[in-house]
Structure 1
Amino acid sequence: MRAFVALFPPADVVEHLGEFLAPRRAARGPQAGAIVPRWTRDEHLHLTLAFLPDLADRDLEELADRLAQAAAKRPLDLLRLAGGGAFPDPIDARVLWVGVQPESGHEQLARLAGSVRSAANSAGALVSGGAFTAHVTVARLARATRATRWLRVLQAYDGPDWQPEHLTLVRSHLGQGPHRTPRYEELGTFALGE
Structure 2
Amino acid sequence: MSGEAGRRALRVRRGPERDAQAELPPPIRASKPKSPVKPNPKGGQPSDPPRERVLRLFFAVPLPADLRAELVAAQRKLTDNWRRVEAEQLHLTLAYLPGVAHSRVPELQALGRRLASSTPFVQLGLRGTGYHPNVGSPRVWFVKVEGAGLSELATAFQTKLAAAGFECEGAFQPHVTLARKKGPAPRVPPVTFAQTWTAQNFALIHTFLPRDKSGPVYDTVSQFALNAQLAVAALAAPEPSAPTTSLQTPPEEHHG
User: Shorter-chain TM-score category?
Assistant: 0.7 to 0.9
Matched, 1:73 2:113: no
User: Following superposition, which runs of at least 4 residues in structure 1 exceed 4 angstroms of deviation?
Assistant: none
Q: Which residue of 2 aligns with 1:175?
A: 210
SS at match of 1:158: coil
User: d(CA) in 2 for partners of 1:77 and 1:119?
Assistant: 19
The structural deviation recorded for 1:159 is 4.9
User: d(CA) in 2 for partners of 1:125 and 1:12?
Assistant: 34
Deviations 1:105-160 (A, max 9, x none): 1x52221111122232333322111x2111001111247x896x42x2xx323153
1:176/1:76 CA distance change after superposition, 3 Å: farther
Matched, 1:111 2:152: yes
Q: Which has the higher contact order (CA 8 A, sep 6+)?
A: 1
Matched, 1:8 2:62: yes
Aligned counterparts, 1:148-187, within 5 A? 149-150=187-188, 152=189, 155-175=190-210, 180-187=214-221
The structural deviation recorded for 1:166 is 0.6
Q: Radius of gyration: which is bigger?
A: 2
Residue identity matched to 2:180: R
Q: Which residue of 2 aligns with 1:31?
A: none
User: d(CA) in 1 for partners of 2:86 and 2:156?
Assistant: 28
In the comparison of the two structures, how many residue pairs are matched?
174
Q: Which residue of 1 aligns with 2:243?
A: none
Matched, 1:20 2:79: no
1:4/1:176 CA distance change after superposition, 3 Å: farther
User: d(CA) in 1 for partners of 2:91 and 2:142?
Assistant: 11
Given that residues 57 and 205 in structure 2 are in contact (C-alpha distance below 8 angstroms), is that contact kept between their aligned partners in structure 1?
Answer: yes
User: d(CA) in 1 for partners of 2:151 and 2:120?
Assistant: 12
Structure whose residues are more often strand by fraction? 1
Deviations 1:31-53 (A, max 9, x none): xxxxx222111111111111111
1:127/1:86 CA distance change after superposition, 3 Å: same
Q: Which residue of 2 aligns with 1:49?
A: 94
1:182/1:146 CA distance change after superposition, 3 Å: closer
Deviations 1:32-83 (A, max 9, x none): xxxx222111111111111111111221112111122122323244222221
Give the RMSD, CA atoms, in angstroms: 2.4
The structural deviation recorded for 1:3 is 0.9
Given that residues 176 and 183 in structure 1 are in contact (C-alpha distance below 8 angstroms), is that contact kept between their aligned partners in structure 2?
Answer: no
Consecutive unaligned residues in structure 2, runs of 5 or more: 1-54, 229-256
Aligned partner of 2:163 among 105, 115, 122: 122
User: d(CA) in 1 for partners of 2:225 and 2:150?
Assistant: 15
User: d(CA) in 1 for partners of 2:112 and 2:69?
Assistant: 28
Using the TM superposition, name which of 59-68 and 73-82 deviates more.
73-82
Structure whose residues are more often helix by fraction? 1
